[in-house]
Chain A
Amino acid sequence: MADREADRADEFTVFVEHVEPRLRQALVSVCGTERARDAVADGLAYAWQHWDRVRAMDNPAGYVYRVARSRTRLRRTRTVFPEVAGDVRDVEPALPGALARLPERQRVAVLLVHGWDWRHEDVAELMGVSVSTVRNHLARGLDKLRTELGVPAHG
């Protein structure tokens, strides 16, 4: 019995090591830096409680992301991003606020793709949507940011 529990724990540990960094980036995009760690912990705790079911899923990371996201949303707090630090170059001070005001999926697409170099396919898999939907969210999000910050489109 103890051996089986240890095996489950080992398997879950490998899963966490594999998905946690990207799950954290995705949830920072959803709910900001202050609440992201709690959201990640909520999602992973749910995964551990239901590990036998979650481990058998085709896309367990996407499922944990959705669990964490929906639990975070129930808390009904605003998404807040930190002010731009003095040593960060070429960033308008209004960017954090503009990001926070984007619709959630647009913000997630913008930050994951342009902030952390995720492939469109990986964002789509995490969000459970098609790649074309991700591209739409991305284009609309960037357009809104450009408009709000007064940045001309390139080209």
Chain B
Amino acid sequence: MAEIETQVRNYATMLDNVDPVRASDIIDTSPEHPRRRRLRVAVAAFVAVVVAVCGVIVLVGNDGGRSAHGPSVAAPPTSEWSTVTDDAHGLSISYPPSWQAAPSTLTPVLVDPVVPIALGTYPLDDPQRMGECDIVPQRALDAMGPTDAFIAVYVFQGIGATYSPSADRPAHFGPDLPWSGGSLPKRASGSGMQCTENVPGFVGQLSFDDHGKELAVLVAIGPDASQETRDEVYGILDTLTVTP
């Protein structure tokens, strides 16, 4: 039997028959006539106004505004969802098949708070290293694509972190909660969220108490994430269970 490297090399020759994509397949090569462009812009503006007006009507009809991050209708868990548990901190959370859990903590250097659970729509296998930003899983956030989303669950240990007493856990997570973009788990050094400046899209955190535990969740949503993915973020957070 041939060595595995040889087998892979020989087999790869079979995988080269995918037709190439050419720039002309992507670009509309016919230059747009200025009059046609103006007409298109005018139509687009009209549609935008109609959509905006309809959106306002819908929001008013719902007796409450939504934030710009989309509706807070959480995706309900189904039997296809998986559950990851962290016995050390009494946490568990469920996620749909398009998500995956980090195999181990993404912030191994961080002592307080700790990040026992992290989830993403993309592989999370690159933890922070010694000497790097330790309060935020920056490598994982940097790997996030524009259509991806990311969740990290922080647990305060009461060792070195300063924790501002916060509200009880919300009944449901959604975009209209008071997500903060600038006060992630503060440590005595007050490092804040300085490691997220280059993350495109929405990055926010929310601190809350649950069964006597002091928790925070960090959420990042890519600028081109689908509404389904955005809804899944809050649906996943709603499945977070905390055992005293």
Contact = CB atoms under 8 A, between A and B. Distances in A.
Nearest to A15: B23
Contact of B27 (A17, A48, A67): A48
- Chain B interface size, as a band, is 35 or more
A133 B6 CA distance: 23
A111 B15 CA distance: 10
Contacts of B222: 70
B67 to A, nearest CB: 23
Nearest to B149: A70
A151 B4 contact: yes
- Chain A interface size, as a band, is 35 or more
Contacts of B122: 66, 69-70, 73
Given A24-B21, A48-B27, A88 B13 contact: yes
A28 B18 contact: yes
B26 interface: yes
Contact of A70 (B3, B27, B32, B145): B145
Contacts, number: 147
B14 A88 contact: yes
B18 A73 contact: no
Contacts of A110: 8
Contacts of A9: 23, 27, 29
A83 to B, nearest CB: 9
A2 B34 CA distance: 9
Contact of A67 (B14, B20, B24, B147): B147
25 contacts: A9-B23, A13-B23, A15-B23, A20-B22, A24-B21, A28-B18, A37-B19, A41-B26, A44-B21, A66-B122, A67-B147, A70-B122, A73-B121, A73-B122, A88-B11, A88-B13, A90-B2, A90-B10, A110-B8, A114-B8, A128-B143, A145-B8, A149-B4, A150-B1, A151-B4
